[in-house]
Amino acid sequence: MTAAPGTARTTRLDVGVRTAMQALSAAAKKGTSRTKSGGGLVPDEVYERAAKHFDEGRLAHLIGLITAINGWNRLMVSRRIPAGGTEW
């Protein structure tokens, strides 16, 4: 089935996905950069620098937060949601 590009770009998120993403973000924020996707890995010095400033529980949540915003970025960029847009 073909979706017209103009309408497909504003495809709304399934309510279940949206709710789950919000729950994930909320969960990650309880603990509280720049992230590059693809390639790289996370160097020891970067990880250890963070580990010096956050205890394990806070670090686990910080990683959750970074991952959650990476998720939101992908959901918005892939569907080209306009800046300031209220429909997503």
Partner 1 sequence: MMTHTDETTKSTTTETTAATVRYAPEHSPRLNWAQLAPDVYKAMIKLDAAARRGVDPVLLELVKIRASQLNHCAFCLDMHTKDALAAGESVERIVQLSAWEESEHFYTEQELAAIALTEAVTVLTDGFVPDEVYERAAAHFDEAELAQLIAAITVINAWNRFGVTCRLVPGHYQAGQYK
- 49: contact with partner 1 by CB under 8 A: no
Q: Are 78 and 85 in contact (CB under 8 A)?
A: no
- 88: contact with partner 1 by CB under 8 A: no
Nearer to partner 1, 35 or 82 (CB): 35
Q: Are 4 and 74 in contact (CB under 8 A)?
A: no
- 9: contact with partner 1 by CB under 8 A: yes
Nearer to partner 1, 23 or 82 (CB): 23
Distance CA 40, CA 47 (A): 13
CA angle 26, 49, 65 (to 5 degrees): 10
User: Which two three-digit tokens encode residue 79?
Assistant: 């569907």
Residues that bind partner 1 (CB under 8 A): 1-3, 5, 7-9, 11-14, 16-17, 19-21, 23-24, 26-28, 30-31, 35-42, 47, 56-57, 59-61, 63-64, 66-68, 70-71, 73-75, 77-80
